[in-house]
Amino acid sequence: MLILEKHIVQSLLDWQTFTAGSGVKANRKSEDIAVISTSNASVLGGMFGLELFESNISLKAKQLPLFLSGRQRLLATARSAVKLLVRALRPATVWLPSYICGVVIDAARETEVRIRFYAVGDSLKIADNHWLAEIQDGDLVIFADYFGFNTWSSHGIEARARGARVVEDACQAMLNRDFSPHSDYIIFSPRKFIGVPDGGILLAGKNTELPDADFPAPPAKWLLQATRASILRSEFDRYGGERSWFKMFQSTEADGPMEPFRMSDLTAAILRIVDWATIKRRRRRNYEFLLSELGELAIFPNLPRHVVPLGFPIRVRNRDRVRRALFNERIYPAVHWEIIDLVPAEFLSSHRLASEIMTLPSDQRYGRDDMKRMVGKLQRYISL
């Protein structure tokens, strides 16, 4: 599988729907303990290559992160955690934010379960409170921590007071120090933060029932394809070459199991040894730097101490043109998310946001020089 060509030629169109991160020259030994891919700044963004690690790494984790401790279920995807909850709790209505990943909407669909949306404004805050009055006892309300930021606390309290089960979708906030005390369940998706082929975690709050634990292994074909994409990406990061991993990644993300399957043993093992502290530090450092340079574009212009951001979301009026120009510079901001045809058109602010938002990569693979390069290019293309 080694790929040694140095030059990269690939249609930009292939890169339109990036959803995670990417990097180049992974896993140089550094000051960090283990399992962090770093970049030589050639490619910024895209999926993560499989985390590599030292063969003599201790499997005795010093302190397990919250998402691995407590009462949880380790699943193959986060969408399947939503499906599991909807099936187990049988709510009459699932309330979803008008700005959300399409697979979450799909996962909430079950016969005799109504899906309703509440409005999220262009700055990702909940736009009004009227909908809260329509919540019925036993409904399920999903709130998303967008890019790591909780914008919904008071709504969570109110939803719970009305008898709803509150689900915190922390797929973009997995490394935060704190989560809402008003959540009955929290959902995580580790692939958004590090290089693992699969994974979704359902964490239950105190006194909350957890659905049965006996899940089948994930479909072998899907898992192999997802693992292959991660390995090829990791090799691309080190040696360059083709980008065949990209199409594989796109299709495995789109085909991720909705049915509850258990997390692969590989992912479960990697999650236990990752040097989370360094990852958190680097992500926060990059975000702070981008704030200092691009604060006026930031959707979240402050970084609270407990937040470890997914990336650096900005709004740009000519988003598609700017993004294409960045692709030419091998910088690949993701779009979270395309919601057209998934969310009713009446949620104008969310649709407007979906056409203007992009997420600058600022994860642990990158350092100050990478961020500077990205800022320079962005400033140039935005002003054109």
Ligand X SMILES: Cc1ncc(COP(=O)(O)O)c(C=O)c1O
Stretch of 36-44, 88-96, 125-133, 169-177 lying at the interface with ligand X (CB under 6 A): 169-177
Are the beta carbons of 117 and 344 closer than 8 angstroms? yes
Residue 169: left if φ>0, alpha if ψ -120 to 50, beta else—which one? beta
The reply to whether 252 sits near ligand X by the rule CB under 6 A is: no
C-beta of 138: minimal distance to ligand X in Å? 22
Neighbours of 61 (CB within 10 A): 14
Residue number with CB closer to ligand X (35 or 78)? 78
For residue 14, the 8-state DSSP code is: G
**Which amino acid appears at position 369 of this protein?**
D
Residue number with CB closer to ligand X (22 or 38)? 22
Among 50, 52, 101, 291, binds ligand X (CB under 6 A): 101
Sole residue written with tokens 């030059």: 7
C-beta of 123: minimal distance to ligand X in Å? 17
From CA 342, how far away is CA 226, in angstroms rounded?
Answer: 25
The reply to whether 150 sits near ligand X by the rule CB under 6 A is: no
Strands 200-204, 72-75: pairing kind? antiparallel
Strands 185-188, 200-204: pairing kind? antiparallel
Stretch of 22-30, 41-49, 164-172, 262-270 lying at the interface with ligand X (CB under 6 A): 164-172
The reply to whether 22 sits near ligand X by the rule CB under 6 A is: no
From CA 47, how far away is CA 206, in angstroms rounded?
Answer: 34
* 353, HSE (Cβ side, Cα atoms, 13 Å): 25
Stretch of 59-67, 71-79, 91-99, 289-297 lying at the interface with ligand X (CB under 6 A): 71-79
Among 45, 200, 309, 361, binds ligand X (CB under 6 A): 200
Residue number with CB closer to ligand X (41 or 120)? 120
Strands 72-75, 185-188: pairing kind? unpaired
The reply to whether 103 sits near ligand X by the rule CB under 6 A is: yes
Which helix or strand (DSSP H or E) is residue 245 part of? helix 244-254
Which x/- pattern over 116-145 shows residues binding ligand X (rule: CB under 6 A)? ----------------------------x-
Strands 185-188, 312-315: pairing kind? unpaired
C-beta of 210: minimal distance to ligand X in Å? 18
The reply to whether 359 sits near ligand X by the rule CB under 6 A is: no
Are the beta carbons of 97 and 344 closer than 8 angstroms? no
The reply to whether 256 sits near ligand X by the rule CB under 6 A is: yes
From CA 149, how far away is CA 291, in angstroms rounded?
Answer: 15
Residue number with CB closer to ligand X (41 or 271)? 271
Measure the CA angle with vertex 305, ends 166 and 350; round to 5°: 50
The reply to whether 79 sits near ligand X by the rule CB under 6 A is: yes
C-beta of 52: minimal distance to ligand X in Å? 22
The reply to whether 172 sits near ligand X by the rule CB under 6 A is: yes
Size of site (CB under 6 A) for ligand X: 14
Residue number with CB closer to ligand X (79 or 228)? 79
The reply to whether 74 sits near ligand X by the rule CB under 6 A is: no
C-beta of 281: minimal distance to ligand X in Å? 23
Contacts of residue 148, Cβ cutoff 8 Å, sequence gap at least 6 = 172, 173, 175, 176, 300, 307, 308, 309, 310
Which helix or strand (DSSP H or E) is residue 115 part of? strand 114-118
Among 26, 171, 186, 229, binds ligand X (CB under 6 A): 171
C-beta of 189: minimal distance to ligand X in Å? 4
Interface ranges with ligand X (CB under 6 A): 19, 77-79, 101, 103-104, 144, 169, 171-172, 189, 200, 256
